[in-house]
Amino acid sequence: MLIRRTEETSYQEMTMPGAKDVTMQLMLGREDQTPTFAMRQFQVQPQGHTPRHQHNYEHEAFILEGQGQIIGGIDGSTIRPIGPGDAIFIAANEMHQFRNTGTQVLRFLCLIPNSFDCGNACQPTPGS
């Protein structure tokens, strides 16, 4: 059993192009010998956002605090409000972006599979 406390977990600035004022904490990842999926905690500052992008693996997210919007859909044309208690599934290859539209931090969990592209040889998912 492993317990990783939020207050003891280091923050990484999200430097990917298109990210603005986002940090990530890897709560449970491949290095912890998780066999299937990885748990990350994100904080987005007011007016900040994650990259608007897509990739060949899914996200499952859960909003912990704050208010925001999520951009989604195959072409990124869907915009919906998000707040605490919302669970979000973003399928592989869907365009997506999390935006903080509030005045407090937007904090959420975002989980990913450890591997993807398993049709050929599985690749480790970035950030897992």
- As a whole number of angstroms, the distance between CA 116 and CA 57 comes to 6
- As a whole number of angstroms, the distance between CA 53 and CA 69 comes to 15
**Comparison of 15 and 54: residue with beta carbon closer to its own copies:** 54
Stretch that binds its own copies, among 15-23, 44-52, 81-89, 98-106 (CB under 8 A): 81-89
Beta bridge partners of residue 61, listed in sequence order: 88, 110
Beta bridge partners of residue 22, listed in sequence order: 44
Can you read off the two tokens belonging to residue 37? 């999926």
Q: Closest separation between CB of residue 80 and its own copies, Å? A: 6
Alpha carbons within 13 angstroms on the beta-carbon side of residue 85 total: 0
Q: Closest separation between CB of residue 113 and its own copies, Å? A: 4
Q: How many residues bind its own copies (CB under 8 A)?
A: 41
Find the binder of its own copies among 12, 91, 104, 126 (CB under 8 A): 91
Q: Closest separation between CB of residue 35 and its own copies, Å? A: 6
**Comparison of 39 and 106: residue with beta carbon closer to its own copies:** 39
